[in-house]
Structure 1
Amino acid sequence: MPTYKNSGRTLKTLFAAITISAMTTGAAMSENGESRLIEAAERGDVRTIGSLLSGGVKIDARNARGETALLAATHANNIEAAKRLIEAGADVNARDNIQDSPYLYAGARGQLEILRLTLAHGADLKSTNRYGGTALIPASERGHVETVKTLIEAGVDVDHVNNLGWTALLEAIILGDGGARHVQIVRLLVEAGAATGIPDKDGVTALQHARSRGFTEIAAILETAKRQ
């Protein structure tokens, strides 16, 4: 007759193996879904994004670079994909491995539509990038006039100083080209109450930088502000 001496132990081992296999399979399926979500966001594939979210894929899952699907969509300026993710609850302040968030990146790159979406859904106006700067500082440097206006109106600190010792005003002059867009940005910052006398780490003010670079229109704006 057959013996069942070890049958209990055998069944326990079998059940344990089945459980581990199911857990491993589930984890793999979850990771695959998360990867697909991020890839769909990069492509701007709104239909796939909706399908994956309906299937329970974690909306703020990250890839090896620390990017969420929303940040991937923002990097590609896929507005509809970003909108779909934000309205589904994606974190607009989730940072990647180099401290970019959807809000900070959209602001720095002048992606106005996505920026406005992040501002309407809890963007942290005090958050800073890897250089210690607010979204307003790189936006000012890169000449994104409407973005600068939007960030000022949202309430970003116009006098925040980054790790280089620069405010938005200083960066617009030091790294800007002195052209029409940067003239407008300097005017916007001054009108918003930016302190024109804050110097850089070498003690050089915005006005001194403007004069040394031959930015006469910008210098005139700063000279007028200084007299007031």
Structure 2
Amino acid sequence: MHGRLLICLAFFMSLIASPLFASERTMNEAKLFAAASSGDVGEIRKLLAGGINVDVRNKAGETPLLVATHRNNIDAARVLIEAGADVNAKDMILDSPYLYAGARGHFEILKLTLLHGADLKSTNRFGGTALIPASERGHVATVRTLIDAGVDVDHINNLGWTALIEAIILSDGGKRHQEIVQALIDAKADVNLADGQGATPLQLARSRGYAEIAEILLRSGAK
């Protein structure tokens, strides 16, 4: 009996190692990436039920969840996350589903990642948290959500910039960025924390002619 079991096990292992089995697995992985990209929830569920690895990687190091996040395919992302996909898995350029959703303002996916273990201290290829590009790009709701989640408002990236500084120097100074500056200040961001060249947020706002942002900073004790 023991001998038969060993024979069966050896046969099964040979199937796994066979080119045919590997080819089918590769094809199913390709199908999963395609389904994640197109938002085909039914196909995703079918492939996951077949035992495919939810965190399989493509040549760019992306997982299916990151591919779904790129397209802002909310339902696809939800199915993958609920199946255990890693919201912090980074690709070759250090994007993760959490970081990408935050940076791009993919709000619903961001909230899903926060509910499933997003690493608030994780950083992108510029050494910045999700809050910094969200502030730069004017994603007001995303900024507020990340602040509420507990992301460090004074984190400095590799360029020497905080979220507050990026909300000034990489913005148009308009209403959305004014709201973000105020939200960061309300969250106790240091209004006098200078950039790598020693320029303060107030100096940077004035140099760009952003009078409204400068006024917000002045009311908060900026120098």
Same fold (TM over 0.5): yes
Corresponding residue number in structure 2 for 1:113: 108
Q: Tell me, yes or no, if structure 1 residue 163 matches structure 2 residue 133.
A: no
Structure 1 gaps, min length 5? 1-14
- CA distance in 1: counterparts of 2:208 and 2:27, whole angstroms: 53
Corresponding residue number in structure 2 for 1:133: 128
Identity of aligned residues (%): 63
- Could you report, residue by residue, the CA deviation over 1:34-87 in whole angstroms, capped at 9, with x for unpaired residues? 111111000000000000000011000010011100000000000000001001
Corresponding residue number in structure 2 for 1:80: 75
- Cα distance change on mapping 1:95 and 1:178 into 2, 3 Å: same
Corresponding residue number in structure 2 for 1:204: 199
- Cα distance change on mapping 1:154 and 1:27 into 2, 3 Å: same
| Shift >6 Å, 4+ stretches | none
- Cα distance change on mapping 1:81 and 1:20 into 2, 3 Å: closer
Q: Which residue of the other structure, out of 21, 32, 36, is the alignment partner of 1:26?
A: 21
- CA distance in 1: counterparts of 2:174 and 2:69, whole angstroms: 28
- CA distance in 2: counterparts of 1:145 and 1:225, whole angstroms: 20
Q: Which residue of the other structure, out of 33, 37, 43, is the alignment partner of 1:42?
A: 37
Rg larger for: 1
Residue 23 of structure 1, CA deviation: 2.2
Residue 21 of structure 1, CA deviation: 8.7
Corresponding residue number in structure 1 for 2:54: 59
Q: How many residues align?
A: 213
Note the aligned Cα RMSD (angstroms).
1.8
Residue 24 of structure 1, CA deviation: 2.0
Corresponding residue number in structure 2 for 1:223: 218
The TM-score with structure 2 as length reference comes to 0.92
> What aligned pairs does 1:84-95 form with structure 2 within 5 A after superposition?
84-95=79-90
The TM-score with structure 1 as length reference comes to 0.90
Corresponding residue number in structure 2 for 1:148: 143
